[in-house]
Amino acid sequence: MDDVFYIDVKDGVNISYHQLIEDVRNTSVYNPYCKEESYYEVFKNIVTSLVIGEEIILLDADFTDVEVRKLVGDVDIKAATRPVVIGNEIHEGNFEEVILSNREKWRMTLFTSGTTGLPKSVSHSFASITRQVKKSERHINDIWGFAFNPTHMAGLQVFFQALLNRNSIIRLFGLDTREIIHEIKRYNITNISATPTFYRLLLPPKDTCESVTRLTSGGEKFDEHTLHQLIGLFPNAKLTNVYASTEAGTLFASAGNEFVIKEEMKNLVRVENGELLIHSSLLGKSSLVDVDGDWYHTGDIIEIVHDIPLTFHFLSRKNEMINVGGYKVNPHELEECIRECQGVIDVYVYAKDSKILGKIVCCDVVRENENITEKMIREQLRQKLQEFKIPRIFKFVEQLNVTRTGKISRKL
C-alpha cells in the first residue's frame, strides 16, 4: 500500500498521497464551510485548511438547507469563498512540516450528532482533536478501515491517526457485509475503528480476516457476546475500547469495558450522582455546551468498580432509562441480555407510552433466520430477567436504523 492515501469502492476513488498533495497545491479558492458527499473531498479540504492555517467548518452532507440555516445562520455557504495561492508551498518533502506549521492558529468546528435535538457546534484546536493520536515507527505500516462518518469526531480520529503516520485509509462505512469483508481481505486492512453496531453487521462470522491486528470500538457499550463472536472473525486482533465525544475528543481508552483514569487525568474527572463529569479544560469551544462551573455533565451514567485509581464502566445515558410502573429498566443492559439469546444478531430496546404503566418496553430484533421466534427469545429471557424487564412488544426487522455516526438510532 505504498503511497496510497484513500480508496473508496463506493465512489470509485483511489488516491495516492502524491495526488492529495497535488490537489491541495492546485487549490485556488478556499471555502471554510465543508459540506461534501465525497469523503475524499472532506479529507482534502481538511488538509487544505491545515496548510493555510484557517478554520474549517464540517457540515454533514445530508443536512437540509433548513438545518444549515439553523446551525450557521443566514450565511450563503456556497459563496463563502476566498482566493488562495498554495503552489509550491507544499510538496512531498515537507508535507508533514507544512501541516504542523499552522497548527496553533488552526481550528475545526463540527457538530454533535443531535440525538437529543438540534446539533450543537463545537470548535477544536489541533491539540484537542489529536489528543490521542499515536505517531511512531510502529504505526507506519498500518492500513485503516474507515467505518465512520468523516465529519464526526470518531471518523476524524481515524483520519488524523492515518494522516500523521502516512497510512492508507480504505472506506468501509456504507458498504454491505460482503463488500466490507472483501475490502478488508483485498487490502489487508490491519486496523478498524467502529461502533459495536457496525461490528455486529459482520456477525455471525462466515469468514476470517487474519490481517486485522487492532480493533477499536466506541460510542456504545461493547457486550461480551459480540466480542466472543468477533474473535472468530478477527482471530489476530486485540480490542481497544475508547471514550470520546464531539465536545471533548478522545479522552480514555481501555482493553475492555472498564476504564481506568490515569494519574494525569484524575483531577479532570469526577462522578456526581452516578454521572460522569469532565473538566471544562478538556472541552472544545462552544457557547451551546452547558457547563456547571468548571464541570461538564456528560449525561453518561457509570458504575464505579474501584475508587483508587478511579475505575468504572458505563451503564447508560441519563435520559434513556425506561420507567415501567415505577421500576427502572436500563435499555442497554436489556439489549445485552437479548443479544445473548440464541439466533439474535442485534436488538434495539425502546419505550412506548402506556395509560396503565406509564411506559412499556419494546424491542426491534434482527435475527439469524425466521426459525427464531418471539417465544424462543422470551423463554431464554425469563431465565435471566425479572418479568417487568422483558419487552412487551417484539418486532422482527431486517436491520436497525443507525445515526449519522453509525450508532443505533434511539429516536422514533
pTM tops 0.85: no
Can 257-317 and 322-396 be said to share one CATH topology?
A: no
pLDDT of residue 220: 67
pLDDT of residue 247: 81
pLDDT of residue 60: 92
Cβ-contact 385, 337 below 8 angstroms: yes
pLDDT of residue 224: 78
Q: What residue segments make up the domains of the chain, in order of their start?
A: 4-239, 257-317, 322-396
pLDDT of residue 172: 97
Topology of domain 4-239, CATH: Rossmann fold (3.40.50)
- Which grid coordinates belong to 143? 492500513
pLDDT of residue 118: 67
DSSP codes of every residue in 216-248: EEESS---HHHHHHHHHH-TT-EEEEEEEETTT
87 by Cβ neighbours in 10 Å (0-12 / 13-18 / 19+) ranks as exposed
pLDDT of residue 141: 96
Q: Supply the CATH classification number for the domain 322-396.
A: 3.30.300.30
| Residue ranges, the chain, pLDDT below 70 | 1, 113-118, 219-221, 287-289, 411-412
pLDDT of residue 226: 84
pLDDT of residue 117: 58
Distance CA 67, CA 79 (A): 18
Architecture of domain 257-317: Roll (2.30)
CB contact burial 128-143 (16+ within 10 A = b; e otherwise) = bbbbebeeeeebeebb
Sign of CA dihedral 311, 231, 181, 396: negative
